[in-house]
C-alpha cells in the first residue's frame, strides 16, 4: 500500500529524531534509544522549519509550543484513552501515573496506564515524558531515561 507519509528528521548531538507525518498529522516519532546519559551535551544540530520539526525543537528549548496535528495512532481503545489523557497535559506541567489514571477514570489501572504510556507510538507529540512516579522518580521512557530527564529539565527551567 502506498504511503503518502512524509518523514522529517531532526539531527541532534544525541542522535536523529525521526517524525512520520500522515496527511492528518504525525503518526510516529522515533527516538534513538540511549542506555545512559551521553557525555556530549545535548544540542540541536539541524532542524527543518516545518511545524513538526519546530515543535520538537521548541520542546528541547523549554518552550511550550502548541501541539501540532496528531493523526491516527492505532492502538487499543484503552491505549487511545490513555494517549488522549497524555495530550491534555500542558507543557511545563507533570502528572503522576496515578493522577493520569484518575483523570481518565481508571483509578485502579495505574499499572496498565503506565504500560499504555510506554507503548505510545509518538513520544514527544504524545507527551508521555510529563508523567512521573508518585514518589518523584521519573519512571521510564521508551527512548531511555536520558531523554525524559532532558525534556523535564527543559520544561522546568522556563517556568
Residues annotated as catalytic are 128
Does 119 sit near DNA (CB under 7 A)? yes
End-to-end C-alpha distance for the chain, whole angstroms: 45
What lies within 8 Å, CB to CB, of 7 at 6+ separation is 18, 19, 20, 21
Taking CA atoms, 65 is separated from 53, 76, 124, in Å, by 11, 28, 11
Q: Which is nearer to DNA, 85 or 123 (CB)?
A: 123
**By CB neighbour count within 10 A (0-12 exposed, 13-18 middle, 19+ buried), where does 26 fall?**
buried
Least distance from DNA to the Cβ atom of residue 156, Å: 17
Least distance from DNA to the Cβ atom of residue 49, Å: 28
Does 121 sit near DNA (CB under 7 A)? no
Identify the residue among 9, 13, 43, 115 touching DNA (CB under 7 A). 115
Q: For residue 72, which of 29, 28, 27 has the smallest C-alpha distance?
A: 27
Does 133 sit near DNA (CB under 7 A)? yes
Q: Which is nearer to DNA, 45 or 107 (CB)?
A: 107
Which residues bind to DNA, rule: CB under 7 A? 75-79, 96-98, 106, 108-112, 114-120, 123, 128-129, 131, 133-135, 139-142
Amino acid at each position: 500500500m502506498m504511503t503518502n507519509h512524509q518523514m522529517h528528521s531532526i539531527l541532534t548531538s544525541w542522535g536523529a529524531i525521526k517524525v512520520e507525518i500522515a496527511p492528518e498529522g504525525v503518526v510516529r516519532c522515533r527516538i534513538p534509544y540511549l542506555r545512559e546519559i551521553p557525555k556530549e551535551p545535548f544540542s540541536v544540530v539541524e532542524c527543518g522549519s516545518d511545524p513538526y520539526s519546530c515543535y520538537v525543537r521548541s520542546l528541547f528549548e523549554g518552550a511550550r509550543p502548541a501541539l501540532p496535528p496528531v493523526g491516527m495512532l492505532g492502538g487499543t481503545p484503552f491505549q487511545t484513552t490513555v494517549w488522549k489523557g497524555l495530550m491534555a497535559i500542558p507543557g511545563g506541567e507533570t502528572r503522576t501515573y496515578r493522577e493520569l489514571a484518575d483523570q481518565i477514570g481508571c483509578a485502579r489501572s495505574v499499572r496498565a496506564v503506565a504500560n499504555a504510556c510506554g507503548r505510545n507510538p509518538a513520544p514527544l507529540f504524545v507527551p508521555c515524558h510529563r508523567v512521573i512516579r508518585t514518589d518523584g522518580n521519573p519512571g521510564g521512557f521508551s527512548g531511555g531515561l536520558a531523554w525524559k530527564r532532558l525534556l523535564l529539565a527543559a520544561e522546568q527551567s522556563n517556568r
